[in-house]
Chains A and B, each alone.
Chain A
Amino acid sequence: MGAGHAHRMYRHGHSPVHRLPPHCKLAATFAFVLVVVATPREAYGAFAGYAALLVAVAAVARVPFGFLLRRLLIEIPFVLFAFLLPFFANGERTEVLGVSLSVPGLLGAWNILAKGTLGVAASVLLASTTELRELLLGLQRLRMPPLLVQIASFMIRYADVITAEMGRMRIARESRGFTARGVRQWGVLAKSAGALFIRSYERGERVHLAMVSRGYAGTMPVIDEVTATRAQWATAVALPAAALAVCLMGWWTL
């Protein structure tokens, strides 16, 4: 698969990480995140250890750090309020560069920031080495409820179709002299959104008709069965296992 027809998060490659079966990678990422979350926030060394582990995975996967860091920016809106904690939290206070900050607040902010960043970094690594379709197959293999997998699958398939439809509606609006300048134009935009919803709903009905016409009776047939060897599982488990070791060390040295 070339870059032209893959999703934006995916980075094409042939590394050992790319080759691992998707459900192994999903399970490994999830376990890694659980271990990170279970680490006490004062075990600063452990977090450095986790970061080192992810750097190692990125190196093996040949994902450039610049790429990884840019994708990490997605985290910012979610951790914004963490930056406010040191200013507004109660408890013992300390002076940093003449500003009074709360110590529990600082710790809380660090906790959210460190764990959040590690979790997002692990997910970004997963997404950049696994195609969306494979992720779905992996989720299916991990016995995620089929309905949720189907919804995700249709979302991926039709996101572009609906975006294109939205684009055509925008062009049609603007071709007739409409520009969204302020609150007064929101009514028009809301109606467009409503029309888009109805069009998508009707498309859903047509898609269902096409599915029924080809024998769909409520369950998606399994077309691709993903399998993993013991060696592949062992490779995938290496990350959460190493993380667990780091975590235990963290608890022990506390």
Chain B
Amino acid sequence: MTTVDADAARTGTPAGASAAAPDAGSLSVEGLAFAYPDGHQALFGVDLAVGRGERVAILGPNGAGKTTLVLHLNGILGGGRGTVRVGGLPVEKKNLKEIRRRVGIVFQDPDDQLFMPTVREDVAFGPATTGLRGEELAARVGKALGQVGMAEFADRPPHHLSFGQRRRVAVATVLAMEPEILVLDEPSSNLDPAARRELADILRSLDVTTLMVTHDLPYALELCPRSVVLSEGVVAADGPTQALLCDDTLMSEHRLELPFGFDPRSVVVPAR
């Protein structure tokens, strides 16, 4: 594992958060290994610690184990070796309810994520399963939709929204659960450049730990001060995104390629 100045990577952490309680990070994955029932081993000992408020990109070629890792974060997959803790709470059967509230996964296809007849009901689904009702529930839904700028679409059925709007509502459905950590699977896929930028603005405005699985390297550079390269089921590199993207050997070793004409060295990364 190549560690590219891990301390510098944490400069995105709010002041004092990691210094005061170094063990109370949002996410800690230790020695996670997992093989599917068909014998295919996807993870071979993944270690990852994410501090509160950090935005981290998970990069890696297809088949690197990114999705497998994500599905371990909220206990959909499990039973392999190693441990996963979210905000200190281990991902175990008895904690699953709380874990699923703490870990908000936004799946790639918003049509999978949005299954209720209207946007409002869909955003309300998560908090309602935790027992929230009435005024409190409505306030939570209003806040989450406001955070993604979709408040006026509350009574629309999801299939009448544009793809970008659906993606934003999908983000709201997990924000409504006030998660400890927001996990996004390919957030920029299928978005036109304007929708992509709008989503970036929204993600930047949120004060929540964010894990972003993506092939969109410029997007990772724009949004995440820190990146983790997952390759063949292990963490191959962990460090500041710009440093990783500028490391040509590392990039080519793990089938990571920048879009034509994009030079990460020339980019001035915005502060947070």
Contact = CB atoms under 8 A, between A and B. Distances in A.
Contacts of A223: 121, 124-125, 128, 137
A132 B117 contact: yes
Interface stretch (A89-97, A151-159, A183-191): A151-159
B168 to A, nearest CB: 16
B46 to A, nearest CB: 20
Interface stretch (A63-71, A173-181, A203-211, A231-239): A203-211
Contact of A215 (B76, B101, B113, B114): B101
A215 B160 contact: no
B129 A221 contact: yes
B174 interface: yes
B126 interface: yes
Q: Which bracket fits the contact residues of B?
A: 35 or more
A72 B174 CA distance: 43
B111 interface: yes
Given A215-B101, A216-B129, A223-B137, A161 B159 contact: yes
A115 to B, nearest CB: 32
Main secondary structure of the interface of A (DSSP, over half): helix
Interface string B65-103: 000000000101000000000000000000001001101
A207 B103 CA distance: 17
Given A132-B117, A133-B117, A203-B112, A213 B105 contact: yes
Contacts of B101: 215
B130 A207 contact: no
A145 interface: no
A153 B116 contact: yes
A217 B109 CA distance: 22
B126 A133 contact: no
Interface stretch (B27-35, B150-158, B261-269): B150-158
B117 A157 contact: yes
B118 interface: yes
A248 interface: no
A154 B157 CA distance: 12
Given A157-B158, A214-B177, A223-B128, 14 more contacts: A133-B118, A153-B116, A153-B117, A158-B115, A161-B111, A209-B76, A212-B100, A215-B126, A215-B130, A216-B125, A216-B129, A223-B121, A223-B124, A223-B137
5 contacts: A4-B160, A5-B157, A153-B117, A157-B159, A223-B125
Interface of B: 74, 76, 97, 100-101, 103-105, 107, 109, 111-118, 121, 124-126, 128-130, 133, 137, 155-160, 173-174, 177
Closest 3 CB pairs of A and B: A221-B128, A215-B129, A214-B126
